[in-house]
Amino acid sequence: MTSRRSPWSYPLWIAHRGGGSAAPENTLAAIRTGAAAGFGMVEFDVMLSRDDVPLLIHDETLERTTDGVGNVSAHNANALRQLDAGRWHGPTFAGERIPTLDQALDCLLALDITANIEIKPATGFDRRTGEVVAHAVAARWPAGVRPPLLSSFSMDALESARESAPDLPRGLLFERLPEDWAAQVRAHGALSVHCDQSALDVQQLRVVRETGVPLLCYTVNDAARARELIAAGVAGLFTDMLDLPQRCCT
C-alpha cells in the first residue's frame, strides 16, 4: 500500500463528550471542564430538534441525561432548552441546559479550543442533520481558525455535510474498521478514520500507519493502552479520564 501523509494539526488528547466523566456530557459545563483540564480539543454529539435546531445530545431519547421524556426529534428546541441536563450527574450541575450548537461553537471560540463534532442523526434524519450541522459550523466559524472536525457513523450524514460545507474536515467513524476503510476514506474525501480502540489489532494499526491516514481511537481510559496506541502512531485519543494525559506521560 502506498504511503502518504495527510495534513494533521489537531491535538492528540480529546475530552470525550466535552468533559469526560467529570461533568454532565454534551453541556457547556462539560466543554469548560475539558478546557480547564488542559484539553485543546473536546468531542460532542449533535442532533436536530423537531424544528431543525442542532443541539448537543447523544441519545435519541431524553431520559438518560435529562429530566425530559420521549424522543429528541419530537420536541422543539425551546422545549428541549428548558430541560435539566446536569442534575443526573450531580447537584453541582443542576440547571445545566442542553446547549445549541451555536452556543457550543461560541464557547469553543471563547476558550480557544477546537472540537470533534459527531453528527448524531435521529433515525431517518441522516442527510438533514449532516446538512444543518455543517452549514451551522461553516457559517459561524471564523476564516483562518482551525475548524472543528466533523465525524459520524452515518455515511449519508457525512456526504450531506460535504455537500453543504465541502471545506470542513471530516472523519469516518466506525466501531470496527471494515476491510475497505481506506477506499471509503478516499470516496468521502475524509481527513481521518475513527474506531473503537478495543477492536484494533496490531496488524490493523500497522496498515493504517503506513497509509498516513490519521487514526483516532475511542474511548481510551487506561494509561498502558494509551501509551501503546501512541507508540503505534495513533493521531487522537478520546478519553473520559481528564487526568489520563498526565498519568500516561509521566
Residues belonging to the active site:
16, 58
Q: List residues bridging with 195 in a β-sheet.
A: 217
* Distance separating alpha carbons of residues 137 and 133, to the nearest angstrom: 6
* Distance separating alpha carbons of residues 117 and 141, to the nearest angstrom: 13
Which residues, at least 6 apart from 143, have a Cβ–Cβ distance to it below 8 Å? Answer: none
Question: Which segments of the chain are extended strands (E)?
Answer: 13-15, 41-48, 54-56, 114-119, 149-152, 170-173, 192-196, 215-218, 236-239
Decide: 154 and 122 in contact? Cβ < 8 Å.
no
CA 91 to the chain's CA centroid: 26
